[in-house]
């Protein structure tokens, strides 16, 4: 729904197309708290550089039906869907099978993936049956290069199936850089004040309304016994961000607030 609202708003306002992506994080270890996810931040930042907005994130268990439901829902309402986790060599790595089921296709050992793994493991004990599981893909898929650990990621349609280990995910993102269609990257600037956000809520609302095309986020904190907030202005238009920041600073200072130019 978030992606649909973004696209609908852009169309209604005559703005340029907004490209969106969703992320499905797959793994019982994330839901149990044993592992803390670090991929959301790096994928969101990478997508922004590609001109794509991360519109929603879902965490699902290692259950086929949960993965199928998430994949079919999120791929339908976003331009792209990324998944992380569940593509390793063990029996509980079921992401490939679940996504193949979601798409109604078979699972096959990708010939190029097999060749990659055979080379990679030639000096590492050979390609065992377990390791060969990492060459399994939904039928018709393409590969995402992985220069970190050999086993490739997978691309099929608008779905990108990636490793859960953050530094391996980063390598796969690097291989995809510049290959996806997107819009302009979102730029942002931050200012901060030692003020309760409730005291400037009307000012922030009026500033966003006066500068059509920007979004203003307010992020309160309590530090050193004092209440403060950072305000982040975002837009694909750098000049619009600069104008909004200038007006915000003017209005905050007129209200007697001391503004920290890059946030607190």
pLDDT tens digits for range 204-224: 999 999 999 899 999 999 998
For residues 152-169, give the mean pLDDT.
97
Distances (CA, A) of 38 to 41, 53, 55, 189: 6, 18, 17, 23
Distances (CA, A) of 58 to 13, 180, 224, 255: 29, 22, 35, 41
Query: Poorest-confidence range of 2-11, 140-149, 227-236?
Result: 2-11
What percentage of the chain has pLDDT greater than the value 70? 94
pLDDT class of 6 with cuts at 50, 70, 90: low
Give the model's pLDDT for residue 15: 63
For residues 225-235, give the mean pLDDT.
95
Give the model's pLDDT for residue 14: 46
What whole-number distance in Å separates Cα of residue 237 and Cα of residue 219? 22
Distances (CA, A) of 214 to 131, 209, 238, 262: 48, 9, 10, 18
For residues 239-256, give the mean pLDDT.
95
What whole-number distance in Å separates Cα of residue 181 and Cα of residue 82? 15
For residues 114-143, give the mean pLDDT.
96
Give the model's pLDDT for residue 150: 87
What whole-number distance in Å separates Cα of residue 210 and Cα of residue 204? 10
For residue 2, pLDDT beyond 90? no
Give the model's pLDDT for residue 12: 37
Give the model's pLDDT for residue 11: 44
């Amino acid at each position: 729904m978030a992606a649909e609202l973004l696209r609908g708003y852009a169309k209604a306002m005559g703005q340029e197309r907004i490209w969106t992506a969703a992320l499905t994080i797959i793994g019982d270890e994330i839901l149990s708290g044993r592992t803390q996810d670090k991929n959301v931040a790096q994928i969101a930042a990478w997508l922004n550089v590609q001109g794509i907005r991360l519109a929603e994130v879902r965490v699902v268990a290692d259950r086929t039906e949960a993965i199928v439901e998430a994949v079919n829902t999120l791929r339908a309402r976003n331009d792209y869907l990324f998944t992380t986790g569940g593509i390793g060599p063990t029996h509980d790595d079921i992401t490939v099978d679940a996504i193949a089921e979601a798409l109604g296709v078979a699972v096959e050992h990708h010939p190029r993936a097999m060749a990659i793994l055979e080379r990679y493991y030639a000096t590492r004990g050979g390609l065992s049956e377990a390791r060969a599981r990492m060459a399994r893909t939904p039928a018709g898929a393409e590969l995402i290069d992985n220069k970190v650990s050999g086993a490739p990621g997978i691309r099929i349609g608008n779905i990108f199936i990636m490793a859960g280990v953050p530094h391996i995910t980063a390598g796969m993102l690097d291989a995809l850089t510049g290959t996806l269609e997107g819009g302009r990257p979102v730029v942002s600037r931050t200012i901060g004040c030692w003020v309760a956000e409730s005291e400037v809520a009307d000012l922030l609302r009026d500033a966003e309304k006066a500068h059509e095309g920007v979004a203003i986020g307010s992020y309160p904190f309590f530090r050193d016994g004092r209440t403060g907030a950072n305000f982040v202005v975002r837009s694909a238009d750098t000049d619009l961000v600069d104008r909004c920041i200038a007006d915000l600073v003017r209005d905050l200072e007129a209200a007697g607030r001391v503004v920290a130019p890059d946030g607190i």
